[in-house]
């Protein structure tokens, strides 16, 4: 049975609210914090979160065997696969991940362009220099997270990923935005609140590592996208961080495919209302499709 209560934190004079779920397990009680913002949750919010918490728990339990198999295959391949085979797989994943995450954000490079650029060093003709540079930069940022999996998520890490992605492309590379932005119907937080809200998100992450890695990565990603801390590059940095969490927990990279971006965006919009189940289900579906580690 899940019990819920509201926890209030005061940081630099401002109050922040969390819904805390407490569930009895065979090993005792398990507590999970759910950050909800600067306004206290209503009774209806508590009811909806209780239902969602149980739904997520049930879904992950129902997929436990599949997730365990994916993790086992991934680790076995890394341990027993031939070096050339692993290198080829990593090159293909880097190319596919970079292609899809860039196309979602409007890059004009095709998969063939991306493959030639990243694997052969051949720049495509008649394509915007910005698209070419950001594609090269994304590869560097992806390599960076793979080399620094022993690090914790921090403000420094987040800013470094943005700096790598936007280097020689934007003057604000490696800096949080300093003005208000609007994303469709979503109005992200004020620029003055970004530092604090990113700190809150990092604290939430550190306090909830007992969550299943897929849930931890999904919720972190959704909140990060809702904060929208940069003028540009939020989606790509967010998807790098999502995979940083998965890789740290011995799961393979999830490539959010451009052809499925409507489903992805729909999951993000549902998460804006506090419902993370759709994103977890979507990420699981992408993870299950991967052939690289089977």
Own/partner pairs, 264-273, CB within 8 angstroms, 24+ separation: 264/104, 267/222, 268/222, 268/225, 268/226, 271/219, 271/222, 271/223, 271/225, 271/226, 272/186, 272/222, 272/226
pLDDT of res. 70: 96
pLDDT of res. 167: 98
Quote the CA–CA distance of 183 and 137 in Å, as a whole number: 24
Residue labelled with tokens 């090993």: 27
Q: From residue 267, how far is each of 4, 38, 44, 271 by CA, in Å?
A: 24, 23, 21, 6
Q: From residue 245, how far is each of 124, 163, 212, 269 by CA, in Å?
A: 33, 19, 11, 22
Instruction: State the distance between the two ends of the chain, measured CA to CA, in whole angstroms.
Output: 37
Quote the CA–CA distance of 201 and 152 in Å, as a whole number: 13
Q: Confirm or reject CATH 1.10.3290.10 for domain 63-289, answering yes or no.
A: yes
pLDDT of res. 145: 98
Cβ within 8 Å of residue 64, ≥6 positions away:
none
CA dihedral 259, 264, 269, 271 (to 10 degrees): 180
Residue labelled with tokens 């209503």: 42
pLDDT of res. 183: 86
Burial status of residue 13 (CB atoms within 10 A of its CB: 0-12, 13-18, 19 or more): exposed
pLDDT averaged over consecutive 10-residue blocks of the chain (294 residues)?
73 77 65 74 75 84 95 94 94 97 98 97 96 98 97 97 98 97 88 94 93 96 96 97 98 97 96 91 94 80
Q: What residue segments make up the domains of the chain, in order of their start?
A: 1-48, 63-289
pLDDT of res. 30: 66
Angle 43-62/277-289 helices, nearest 10 degrees? 20
pLDDT of res. 28: 63
pLDDT of res. 115: 98
Burial status of residue 201 (CB atoms within 10 A of its CB: 0-12, 13-18, 19 or more): buried
């Amino acid at each position: 049975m899940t019990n819920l209560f509201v926890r209030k934190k005061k940081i630099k004079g401002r109050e922040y609210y969390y819904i805390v779920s407490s569930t009895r397990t065979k090993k005792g009680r398990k507590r999970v914090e759910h950050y909800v913002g600067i306004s206290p949750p209503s009774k209806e919010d508590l009811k909806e979160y209780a239902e969602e918490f149980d739904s997520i728990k049930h879904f992950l339990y129902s997929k436990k065997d599949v997730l365990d198999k994916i993790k086992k295959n991934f680790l076995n391949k890394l341990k027993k696969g031939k070096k050339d085979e692993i290198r080829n797989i990593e090159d293909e994943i880097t190319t596919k991940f970079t292609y899809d995450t860039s196309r979602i954000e409007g890059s004009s490079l095709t998969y063939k362009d991306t493959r030639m650029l990243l694997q052969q060093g051949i720049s495509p003709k008649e394509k915007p220099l910005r698209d070419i540079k950001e594609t090269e930069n994304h590869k560097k940022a992806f390599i960076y997270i793979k080399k620094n999996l022993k690090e914790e998520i921090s403000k420094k890490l987040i800013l470094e990923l943005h700096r790598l992605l936007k280097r020689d492309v934007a003057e604000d590379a490696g800096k949080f935005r300093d003005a208000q932005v609007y994303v469709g119907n979503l109005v992200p937080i004020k620029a003055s609140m970004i530092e604090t809200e990113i700190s809150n998100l990092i604290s939430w992450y550190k306090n909830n590592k007992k969550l299943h890695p897929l849930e931890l990565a999904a919720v972190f990603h959704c909140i990060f996208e809702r904060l929208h801390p940069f003028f540009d590059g939020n989606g790509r940095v967010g998807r790098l961080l999502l995979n940083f969490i998965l890789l740290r927990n011995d799961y393979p990279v999830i490539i959010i495919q451009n052809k499925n971006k409507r489903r992805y965006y729909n999951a993000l919009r549902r998460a804006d209302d506090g419902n993370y189940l759709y994103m977890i289900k979507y990420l699981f579906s992408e993870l299950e499709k991967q052939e690289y580690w089977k």
